[in-house]
Amino acid sequence: MEEAYNSVTLDPERCKGCINCIKRCPTQAIRVRNGKAHITKEFCIDCGECVRVCPHHAKKPTYDSLERIFEFKYKVALPAPSFYGQFNNLDDVNIILRALKLYGFDDVYEVAAAAEKISQLSREYIELHKDKKPFISTACPSVTKLITIRFPNLIDHLLPFVAPVELAAAYARKQAVEKTGLSPDEIGIVFISPCPAKVAAQRNPFGLKKSNIDLVVAIEKIYPKLLPLMVKTRDDAEELSQSGRIGIGWGSSGGEAGGLLVDNYLAADGIENVINVLEGLEDQKFSDLEFIELNACSGGCVGGVLQVENPYAAKAKMKRLRKYLPVSRSHVENPSDFSDVSWNQEVEYSPVFTLGENMIDSLAKMEEAQKIYARLPGLDCGSCGAPTCKALAEDVVRGIAHEKDCIHLLKEYLHRISDDLHSI
Amino acid sequence: MSDKLRFHYEVSGEDFTRAGEASSDLKAKLKLMGASPEVVRKVAICMYEGEINMVIHACGGVIDVTISPADILLELKDVGPGIPDIEKAMQEGYSTASENIRSLGFGAGMGLSNMKKYSDEMKIDTVLGVGTTVTMRINM
């Protein structure tokens, strides 16, 4: 990981300085200072919770604008599996894929097809590395980032594979070069993404030096453009889809784990549930698990903050869509060759939450924070701008807040002064 | 400042839903202090196993944690039934937990042996009918 990048920005005009986001941020990355929310980049895992809960729509997820696709001579769309769950009465994925071409893409490469290949390779990899069980999925970038900043003991359990979209991007570029004879940089690989975490992962990928994706666009932006085009592509005959039940299944919680065909897996979704599972894993609370699938969003990628449809409605639609598909339609030739999917860069622990510069300093700061905490009212009201009294105490020792930011302590203090004045 | 930091936790008995709370809280604190991942892991396992033991066997108890730059001391004290045969209790897989508790997935007989394995030093003081104190030291 190089410089911290985070995919959510704040519109100060819209921000009212309320406490909704600071209360819901799972890593306590947000503080309200001088009436506006501020995100500490290093703590942010790009989960999008703050975007979801902000009643004033002041949190803006970042992604590339759709118009930018036309900067490239030849452009390939990479639709996320969960994209297929956004449409009503869809009984054939080809209708969407043809509509993407009609919109302006020269070709499509389904992330679901790459996911199917990753399922196949993961099955083999897990079988060959039984000593490292349980493996934790690395498909959700928010979860992977969370593990690298908060659960260092679990880093060894991460499945050291790129996300399906990265594999899709590599294959798509190679295919496009072969097909067109253009140079690789004239080809635009465009991911149609359910969430801003994928934007952050493209700017700062895990286990990879550089992402193969050129642009990440939002499902919510391309969705209204495709609807009218889909009416036109409904009856065309062009077959573009290469994915089956397993690949499309990745779009909702349990799909990736289900595609491994193992008996003992756990699939958790929703960031609070994910954190509970990670805490339990760290305490070695669960035994005999082979695979752990974790998705930051409720329902899995269908719950992404850039989606249009209700996550559970989308899940139901995808279930219907998958029903008549073959189990799998994309395969790798050699399932024990992991070279296309393996990480080529170490994923390391970043101890961003550490209070002090060294152990002795940290210990002293922790002791100080305990003392401050004991003086605070313990209401966790958020009025000081920190999510809890404990967080305020830590902020004070970090030097970024003052004890009297607590309105209750301030009130007491003012009362005392006025009493003193009266008694003179 | 003093060179030692102390934390106190109360573990309530027969409350499986809350077992692990003390462990989680201490883990978070150790990460704030910049303890190494290995130390966090050892402490987490020792604390969690200890907490579960108190819940299953002793109607709860108290945990006192002392942290210094050199080590972490965990003192788990309960007023439970005591351990009749420590040697036996230390064996992997030996358990006196009821069927009821085993059916919940606890009581596999790995608690004390795991605590021994992950701590750098462990001492058990137990008096039948009076209670048990388990002291563990984990080096930084």
Alpha carbon of A389: minimum distance to chain B alpha carbons (Å): 15
Q: Check if CATH label 3.30.70.20 holds for domain A1-61.
A: yes
**What pLDDT does A3 receive?**
60
Which member of A152, A279, A359 has the closest CB to residue B24?
A279
Displacement of CA A229 from its chain's centroid (Å): 29
Cα distance between residue A172 and residue A166, in whole Å: 10
Domain hosting residue B124, numbered range: 5-139
Give B82-134 as a 3 state SS string: CCCCHHHHHCCCCCCCCHHHHCCCCCCCCHHHHHHHHCCEEEEEEECCCEEEE
Listed as ranges, residues in chain B with pLDDT below 70 are: 1-2, 104-105
B-chain CB neighbours of A367 within 8 Å are: 1-2, 5
A152 contacts B37? CB cut-off 8 A: yes
Amino acid at A287: S
Would the CA dihedral through A333, A335, A338, A342 be positive or negative? positive
B-chain CB neighbours of A358 within 8 Å are: 34
Cα distance between residue A172 and residue B110, in whole Å: 50
Say what the ipTM of the complex is.
0.81
Cα distance between residue B9 and residue B61, in whole Å: 9
Q: A112: Cβ–Cβ under 8 A, 6 or more apart, which residues?
A: A79, A81, A84, A164, A243, A247, A248, A250, A251
Can you name the residues that pair with B126 across neighbouring β-strands?
A: B132
Cα distance between residue A370 and residue A365, in whole Å: 9
Cα distance between residue B124 and residue B46, in whole Å: 13
Provide the residue count of chain A.
424
Q: Are A48 and A61 in contact (CB under 8 A)?
A: yes
In angstroms, how far is the first alpha carbon of chain B from the final one? 19
**What pLDDT does A350 receive?**
93
A353 contacts B32? CB cut-off 8 A: yes
Q: Are A37 and A58 in contact (CB under 8 A)?
A: yes
Displacement of CA B60 from its chain's centroid (Å): 11
CATH number where B47 lies: 3.30.565.10
Nearest Cα to Cα of residue A37 among A418, A403, A387: A387
Cα distance between residue A280 and residue A106, in whole Å: 47
A88 touching B (Cβ < 8 Å): no
**What pLDDT does B19 receive?**
81
Cα distance between residue A132 and residue A56, in whole Å: 45
Cα distance between residue A182 and residue B133, in whole Å: 73
Cα distance between residue B22 and residue A171, in whole Å: 48
Which member of A150, A358, A370 has the closest CB to residue B31?
A150
Residue A281 burial (C-beta neighbours within 10 Å; 0-12, 13-18, 19+): buried
DSSP 8-state secondary structure symbol assigned to residue A339: T
Residue that has been written with the tokens 């760290």 in this structure: A282
A261 touching B (Cβ < 8 Å): no
A-chain CB neighbours of B31 within 8 Å are: 150, 351, 353-354
Q: B24: Cβ–Cβ under 8 A, 6 or more apart, which residues?
A: A279, A283
Listed as ranges, residues in chain A with pLDDT below 70 are: 1-3
Nearest Cα to Cα of residue A30 among A423, A384, A411: A384
B48 contacts A394? CB cut-off 8 A: no
B44 touching A (Cβ < 8 Å): yes
What is the helix (H) or strand (E) element at residue A1, kind and residue range? none
Pick the CATH number of A355-424 from 3.40.50.300, 1.10.15.40, 1.10.357.10, 3.20.20.80: 1.10.15.40
Size of interface A-B (CB pairs under 8 A): 73
CB atoms within 10 A of CB A127: 13
Q: Which residue of B has its CA nearest to A276?
A: B24
| Comma-separated ranges of CATH 3.30.70.20 domains in chain A | 1-61
A282 contacts B41? CB cut-off 8 A: yes
Domain count along chain B: 1
What is the helix (H) or strand (E) element at residue A260, kind and residue range? none
